[in-house]
Amino acid sequence: MIKQRICIVGDGLSGLMTAVVLSKLPGIDVNLIAKKARKTIDKRTTAISDTNYKFINQNITSLGQKLFWPSKKIELFYQTSKENINFLNLDEANSNLMYVFENDKVKSLLLKEISKNKIKLIRKDVKNLIELKNYELIVLCIGGQSKIYNNIIKKRSIKKDYKEIAITGYVRHNYETLNTSQFFLKEGPLAILPFSKHYFSFVWSVKKNFFENNSKKITTLVKNKIIEILKNKKDITISNIQSYPISLSLRRQYHQKNILILGEGLHTIHPVAGQGFNLVLRDIKKLEEIIKYYVGLGISIKNSYALNDFYNSRKPENTIMSLGVDATHSFFKQNKYLDPFKEIIVKNIKNNETLKKFSKIISNRGLSL
């Protein structure tokens, strides 16, 4: 059997995971191309569902169990003028709802897996896709801002500037118990994601002008806010603070000829629901299934309907989930006219068992039911 050559461009989480997964397919030879310049360490965390954790576990032979911190309970709070209403608790007795991992450690693990699988790693800057013409499939995992997309995408994307900044960082603590939590605060949603016994990460999305006005005291501001919402006076230490602008970007066009966009270049969504990388993993899983099918039939990927099949199977969920997250964020934004009605709604959500069950299914599997 003559192996078909696939090129993955980009060594972020999306590119590394795509390379590892596709390299395990029979009849496939994978090359990974990454920039020459060494990237800065990604001191952020990512949350994934139980289903996506199992997908990763299937593809990494030496998965470090300690790198993925499980959560059996997720709590959601809505801030009013009087209190933080605990309006939704998702929990499982015999399984985990989600896992949180440190990006830089999992990237290191994936690079080791790439070495084991004998994936050829090429360090060079790709400026023109013509130099990659000898591959059956080219997968671009190069973030959301690359100018390379301008050469292959003709349809306009769905875009929205939230005019918000996401503040992220690590917190060291001595709390005895701490659950994964999402607080819808007046300043913006704040997520707490435990990733070890004494550490959790946070993602706080705030308005751009709020961030700019408080940029010199942001560490103190975050510390006081976390102590306030957790109602715990124990001292905490904050480190690795980073910030980045938040936007919505959904491609209407996924591919051209044998070139496919994947990762943040395909869809960038608000972090409020933690669904960004979960969508990417479902994309990778579907791409694996489609390529396996066509290669198994002995059909060249380049001359097949593989990328059309991928587009048709993944665009509906990516669009619905992304716009659903956008609608969730809009609903919880502070509005003095609507807030009294929202308070009534969230109080009624608490005892809705059907909604709880549905929320757990969607969070775990997406719309691939």
Q: What are the pLDDT digits (tens) for 243-288? A: 999 999 999 999 999 999 999 999 999 999 999 999 999 999 999 9
Q: What are the pLDDT digits (tens) for 334-356? A: 888 888 899 889 988 877 888 88
Q: What are the pLDDT digits (tens) for 207-222? A: 999 999 999 999 999 9
Measured distance CA(87)–CA(126) in Å, rounded: 49
**CATH second-level architecture of 4-365?**
3-Layer(bba) Sandwich (3.50)
- At 86 the pLDDT is 93
For residue 9, give every residue at least 6 positions away whose Cβ sits within 8 Å of its Cβ, in sequence order, or none.
15, 33, 34, 126, 132, 138, 139, 140, 141, 142
Measured distance CA(113)–CA(13) in Å, rounded: 13
How many helices (H) and strands (E) are present in the chain, helices listed first?
9, 17
Measured distance CA(178)–CA(193) in Å, rounded: 9
Sole residue written with tokens 């605060």: 185
Q: Express as a percent the part of the chain with pLDDT over 70.
A: 98
Q: Which of 27-41, 66-80, 126-140 is predicted least confidently?
A: 27-41
Sole residue written with tokens 């309907």: 305
Which has the closest alpha carbon to 257: 117, 91, 133, 80? 133
pTM of the model: 0.95
